[in-house]
């Protein structure tokens, strides 16, 4: 793996609801030792996109490694106020395993979901919904909106975000910029 910039120190915490513990979910701050696992997660998230490309496996692997390195550098360099989380789940045997990542940037008025990515085996099981609802709860408590981007080629994520109340604000080419506005101060998501 290429030499990558270190994760800056994380300053923010997301309270983890009791409902997460029942499902064995937790968050922990990402650290440099997570980079190989994060590289694997990134590569898995791009498998379907690269499947039709007629490159040898070694070329695809090198391409994905370089793309991950570029993305990581971009996120870290632009990451003032960003918190890097590893999403974990306790297995039936009691082992805690990473299953995804959640990167958040907190501004004065908006929390931006920089990235949310789960292993394929943990998608469509309510984990992403649980993560986003907690982000939305914390943003609502602080009177902040939540923004994110979704790729045009990711209709499942688009449906999830719309179901949670995100509205499209702008088409920025390959992605849509979406925003969720908090309910009145007296009501918070459940």
CATH code, domain carrying 99: 3.40.630.30
Q: By mean pLDDT, which of 2-11, 90-99, 148-157 is the weakest? A: 2-11
190 within a domain of the structure (yes/no): no
116 within a domain of the structure (yes/no): yes
The pLDDT mean for the chain works out to 87
Are 90 and 51 spatial neighbours (Cβ–Cβ below 8 Å)?
no
pLDDT band (50, 70, 90) for residue 185: very low
Nearest-5° Cα angle at 174, 171 to 51: 150
Are 180 and 136 spatial neighbours (Cβ–Cβ below 8 Å)?
yes
- Please give the pLDDT value at position 186: 41
101 within a domain of the structure (yes/no): yes
Structural domain of 143: 18-30+81-180
**According to the 3-state scheme, what is the secondary structure of the chain?**
CCCCCCCCCCCCCCCCCHHHHHHCEEEEECCHHHHHHHHHHHHHHCHHHHCCCCCCHHHHHHHHHHHHHHHHHHHHHCCCCEEEEEEEEECCCCCEEEEEEEEEEECCCEEEEEEEEECHHHCCCCHHHHHHHHHHHHHHHCCCEEEEEEECCCHHHHHHHHHCCCEEEEECCCEEEEEECCCCCCCCCC
56 within a domain of the structure (yes/no): no
pLDDT band (50, 70, 90) for residue 79: low
For 121-166, write each residue's pLDDT tens digit.
999 888 999 999 999 998 999 999 999 999 998 898 999 999 999 9
Are 6 and 29 spatial neighbours (Cβ–Cβ below 8 Å)?
no
Are 178 and 167 spatial neighbours (Cβ–Cβ below 8 Å)?
yes
Domain count, the chain: 1
108 within a domain of the structure (yes/no): yes
Q: By mean pLDDT, which of 80-84, 116-120, 153-157 is the weakest? A: 80-84
Tell me the pTM.
Answer: 0.86
126 within a domain of the structure (yes/no): yes
For 47-59, write each residue's pLDDT tens digit.
988 999 999 999 9
147 within a domain of the structure (yes/no): yes
69 within a domain of the structure (yes/no): no
């Amino acid at each position: 793996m290429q030499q990558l910039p270190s994760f800056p120190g994380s300053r923010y915490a997301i309270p983890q609801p009791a409902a997460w513990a029942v499902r064995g979910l937790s968050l922990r701050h990402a650290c440099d030792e997570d980079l190989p696992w994060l590289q694997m997660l990134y590569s898995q998230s791009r498998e379907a996109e690269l499947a039709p490309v007629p490159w040898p496996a070694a070329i695809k692997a090198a391409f994905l490694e370089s793309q991950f390195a570029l993305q990581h550098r971009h996120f870290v360099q632009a990451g003032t106020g960003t918190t890097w989380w590893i999403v974990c789940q306790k297995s039936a045997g009691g082992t805690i395993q990473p299953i995804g990542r959640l990167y958040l940037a907190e501004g004065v008025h908006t929390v931006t979901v920089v990235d949310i990515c789960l292993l394929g085996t943990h998608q469509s099981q309510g984990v992403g919904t649980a993560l986003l609802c907690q982000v939305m709860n914390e943003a609502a408590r602080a009177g902040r909106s939540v923004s994110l981007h979704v790729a045009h080629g990711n209709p499942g994520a688009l449906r999830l975000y719309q179901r949670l109340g995100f509205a499209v604000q702008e088409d920025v080419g390959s992605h849509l910029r979406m925003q969720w506005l908090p309910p009145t101060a007296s009501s918070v998501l459940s």
